[in-house]
Amino acid sequence: MPKNRQILLKRRPSGMPTLDDFQLVEKERPEPGLGQVLVRNQLLSLDPYMRGRMDDGKSYMAPVELGQVMTAHTVGEVVTSNDPAFDPGEKVFLTGGWQDYAIAQAPDVRKINPALPDAAWLGPMGLPGWTAHYGLFELGHPATGETLVVSSAAGAVGSLVGQLAKAQGLRVVGIAGGPEKCAYVVNELGFDACVDYKVSEFAARLADACPNGIDIDFENVGGDVLDAIWPLLNASARIVVCGLSAHYNLTKPLPGPDLTKVLKQRVNMRGFIISDHRLHIPKAIGEMATLVGQGKLTTRNDITTGLEYAPNAFIGMLQGKNFGKTLVQVA
Ligand SMILES: NC(=O)c1ccc[n+]([C@@H]2O[C@H](COP(=O)([O-])OP(=O)(O)OC[C@H]3O[C@@H](n4cnc5c(N)ncnc54)[C@H](OP(=O)(O)O)[C@@H]3O)[C@@H](O)[C@H]2O)c1
């Protein structure tokens, strides 16, 4: 009977994972039950989200338990099938884990078109592709002529985001680590520019690459990279918080609000200026007047008498000395 090699999570890492956090074991190859298939994993996808799953309950997904096989999407071939919908030899996509063989059951195992490369089922048609497509089109709302910046631009998700945006007629600026990755992003992926975040003049170079500011930030990194993007954001810019690679291995959170909260809790952080929404104002006036008329709202006013005291009242308000709505009784 062939053996099944598995990589287990042995220990929860502190900061950057080390080899000692994993354990290679050899088990008997499992047998599929009724309605199940046995798959020989051929290609295994490694993705940054797995780092979160090595922690205890800190990820947006359930943690991998200690002693359990590390999770992963895989492409493989059906070895034995107890499901009439699958035949031995068929190519499938599944969450097969870090191991030679996996047991799976529809719908968690799907047939894939073997005419397309296996790797593409874990790239453009896999998690990176789903992520790039959804994040860009559903959250980024790209429009021709806008500028999009994407970090980890040479990586699985970033490389796809930039190419999809380019095809929509956007100016696309990548951010990546090192000259080799940046050259690839421009020369082979066709981005308009790519800035190396590891050089000291990174922020100035990013500003040069975005002469019209930034309309969409497809954020994969956070930290210093996001700091450089921040001042360049245009009015009504969209920040798609897809990933925060600079945060994943920190033992102490960075100063300021913890953006991993935005990611993990799917927080919708959106700016607005009420004067942009003039059509809403009559509705608001009508509904508020009704509530006031019915005595359903409690209000408190902080009234200063005399126009000459308006500056004092204003400064006092800015210092928190007002208690309620600040008003001046002019006459
Ligand atoms: N929200 C979702 O559902 C979802 C789904 C999939 C992926 N993601 C996120 O998308 C991002 C990209 O994922 P991927 O699969 O495409 O990985 P990837 O970009 O292929 O690989 C990770 C890259 O992160 C960059 N990186 C690592 N540490 C960094 C740091 N401290 N500062 C700056 N860059 C750093 C490195 O690129 P450089 O050499 O350029 O630094 C590295 O190549 C990740 O943050 C991931 O968590 C989110």
Residues near ligand 1 with C-beta < 6 Å?
47-49, 127-128, 131, 152, 154-158, 176-177, 181, 220-221, 225, 242-246
Q: If phi over 0 gives left and psi between -120 and 50 gives alpha, with beta otherwise, what is residue 297? A: beta
Q: Can you tell me which atom of ligand 1 is nearest the CA of 128?
A: 6
Chain centroid to Cα 111, Å, comes to 27
Q: Can you tell me which atom of ligand 1 is nearest the CA of 131?
A: 5
| C-alpha–C-alpha distance, residues 166 and 6, integer Å | 41
pLDDT (tens digit per residue) in 211-227: 999 999 999 999 999 99
> Three-state SS for 22?
strand
| C-alpha–C-alpha distance, residues 310 and 312, integer Å | 5
Cα of 177 vs centre of ligand 1, distance in Å, is 11
pLDDT (tens digit per residue) in 98-118: 999 999 999 999 999 999 999
| C-alpha–C-alpha distance, residues 304 and 188, integer Å | 66
| pTM for this entry | 0.93
Model pLDDT, residue 253: 87
pLDDT (tens digit per residue) in 183-221: 999 999 999 999 999 999 999 999 999 999 999 999 999
Q: Can you tell me which atom of ligand 1 is nearest the CA of 263?
A: 1
Beta partners for 171?
147
Model pLDDT, residue 272: 87
**Contact indicator for 18, 112 with CB cutoff of 8 Å:** no
User: Which of 227, 245, 250, 260 for mutating ligand 1's site (highest number of atoms within 8 Å of CB)?
Assistant: 245
**Contact indicator for 197, 188 with CB cutoff of 8 Å:** no
Other Cβ atoms less than 10 A from the Cβ of 132: the count is 26
Q: For atom 21 of ligand 1, which residue has the closest CA?
A: 155
Residue 70's contacts (CB-CB under 8 Å, 6 or more residues apart) are: 7, 8, 9, 22, 50, 64, 97, 98
Q: Which pair of structure tokens corresponds to residue 111?
A: 């047939």
| C-alpha–C-alpha distance, residues 226 and 180, integer Å | 22
Model pLDDT, residue 271: 86
Over range 58-84, report the average pLDDT.
93
pLDDT (tens digit per residue) in 78-96: 999 999 999 999 999 999 9
Model pLDDT, residue 277: 94
Judged on CB neighbours under 10 Å (0-12, 13-18, 19+), 105 is middle
More confident residue, 135 or 271: 135
Over range 284-312, report the average pLDDT.
96
Over range 43-56, report the average pLDDT.
94
Cα of 131 vs centre of ligand 1, distance in Å, is 12
Average pLDDT of the chain to the nearest whole number: 96
Beta pairing class for 3-9 and 325-329: unpaired
Chain centroid to Cα 222, Å, comes to 10
Model pLDDT, residue 57: 77
Over range 288-298, report the average pLDDT.
96
Residue 58's pLDDT band, with cuts at 50, 70 and 90, is low
pLDDT (tens digit per residue) in 146-164: 999 999 999 999 999 999 9
**Contact indicator for 251, 14 with CB cutoff of 8 Å:** yes
Report CA-CA distances (Å) from 213 to 85, 232, 234, 267: 52, 5, 6, 24
Cα of 110 vs centre of ligand 1, distance in Å, is 26
Residue 53's pLDDT band, with cuts at 50, 70 and 90, is very high
Q: Which pair of structure tokens corresponds to residue 64?
A: 């991998």
